[in-house]
Amino acid sequence: GKEVFRDLVKRADVVLENFRPDVMSRLGIGYETLAAANPKLIMLSISGFGRDGPESQRPAYAPIVHAELGLIDRVVRQRGAKIDLPLSVADTNAGLHGLVALLSAVIMRGRTGRGQHIDLSMMDATLVSDDQFHFEIEDAEATRNLPPDIWDTGVGAILVSVDFRWLWKLLTTEFGVVDPTTAAMTLDAKIAARRDAVAAFMLSLASWEAVEDAMAKMNLAWGRVRSGKARSEE
């Protein structure tokens, strides 16, 4: 099998591999060996922790990276659920960053005539794609925008991508929703009362046409909370 692989490499543009960093060399098909046979070869190596760090030999899959980078802890703190993410964020990010690096290497090969070995870790790719990380390292999560809410309407659940405070202002000005709060109420009590009022308004929308009209009047981005199966059947 290794001989077949080496023969293919002589004519290949690119080799992709995602073993732990020592495996290819241990099998006698490391980059230095392959590049000697094909100097134009580009090899992209994706591993959990990269080739040179102290944890380079650890096995890793996407959930491991989610845990190590604090993504799962963030879900626990914000949503109260101690579970992995419902999609392979680390795998996808590594693949996309790897593609960008690979295409850059192809352009460079066109200028120099030589390939290169790209070392990409899932940890690095996921960290630089984390658009919420700065709030954590600056201890400033309280300043981040409020997350979107999911509301039950009379015909099904919708997610509305808007800060609740702006949604409340729009509902009171565009639809005449009455503020149920009083000056004597605590802030938490006011928020709860206003959320109850918004929930009642959403439930009053008895058709998808009514939902669409309301969201359009407020110029809000929104979407039905569909299941993947239901979406594929439409």
Q: Which residues are identified as catalytic?
A: 91
**20 closest CA partner among 58, 70, 54:** 58
What are the distances in angstroms from CA 203 to CA 127, 158, 175?
A: 39, 11, 14
Neighbours of 80 (CB within 10 A): 7
Query: Where does 38-163 have alpha helices with state H?
Result: 62-68, 71-79, 89-112, 122-127, 133-137
Q: Report whether 58 contacts 48 (CB < 8 A).
A: yes
- Identify the residue whose tokens are 């693949």: 95
